[in-house]
Amino acid sequence: MATWTTDDIPDQRGRLAIVTGATGGLGLETALALAGAGAEVVLAGRNPLKGDRAERMIRDRHPHAEVRFGLADLADLASIAAFGDRLLADGRPIDILVNNAGVMALPRRETTADGFERQFGVNYLSHFALTGRLLPLLTAGRARVVQLSSMAHHGGRIRLDDLNHAHGYRPWPVYQQSKLAMLMFAVELQRRSDAHGWGLTSVAAHPGVANTDLMSNGPGGLTGFGARLFLPLLTHSAAAGALPSLMAATLPDATPGGYYGPQALGEWRGPPGPARVDPAARDPEVARRLWSESERLTGVRYG
């Protein structure tokens, strides 16, 4: 395949897309490209002021874009439920769901409104709950569901005995677990869709190393002279980092249960294509147990 860009996104007119964390960074770039291709896009986020700015930015670039902000705090299951209920009340089938929002390697253990360790809660459990609540609309639209993972999933471990890392919190292993969980979620959702006839195409993507606030604001963030010197060599832009998610969301023949990421420098940067999956992400027994525990923790059951 030739280098894939936003010009290769098929016409999305008449389709409804939901993108979490869409008021900045990768999520905003993903929403911008989908809106530019004609999709109606809901920008799911927790900050209405940032949502308003994101809407205006997208309309500045695409004056006829159908885009709106939807309040959804991914650190609060009640907010996720309220967001889902509003969409369910509208009754519009969903064609694309991009579960993009996330936090990275918080230096100290923090918790969500529901008491979950924040990285695991925001990056994974929130998206598990949101996808489950929206399942009737996703099945009605025979949707493409995209989970944002990371190269960090390699070496990650699902601590089934302590998913919320109540003991021995370390920022990076906890982040690795959350991103491994997202990739396992994509694979397991496809298995269950096939088994139950939900008609979904479940895929995952990772951005490589994109120069966004998520990276620069993390512990040991790349700042100062070293960052100015090396970032252009090692990373790519948020727009480039969004391409694997866009490929996963719109490629007509995307592989069910597949994984997409950059193709250069060991998947750090470059044009999008198939990415390498750690064998741990394909462990069906761990995936089954993680799914069961996720239903218990969130109170959201897929039927």
Residues 6+ apart with CB under 8 A from 170: none
Largest CA distance in the chain: 54
Instruction: Let me know: does 287 contact 188? Beta carbons within 8 Å.
Output: yes
Q: Distance between CA 185 and CA 167 in Å, rounded?
A: 24
Query: Quick one: which H or E segment has residue 132?
Result: helix 126-133
Instruction: Let me know: does 174 contact 119? Beta carbons within 8 Å.
Output: yes
Q: Distance between CA 271 and CA 64 in Å, rounded?
A: 28
Count Cβ atoms below 10 Å from residue 35 Cβ, excluding itself.
24
Q: Distance between CA 155 and CA 186 in Å, rounded?
A: 18
Of 144, 133, 265, nearest to 205 (Cα)? 144
Respond yes or no: is residue 124 known to be catalytic: no
Catalytic residue among 124, 169, 175, 260: 175
Q: Distance between CA 148 and CA 244 in Å, rounded?
A: 9
Query: Quick one: which H or E segment has residue 263?
Result: strand 259-264
Residues annotated as catalytic are 175
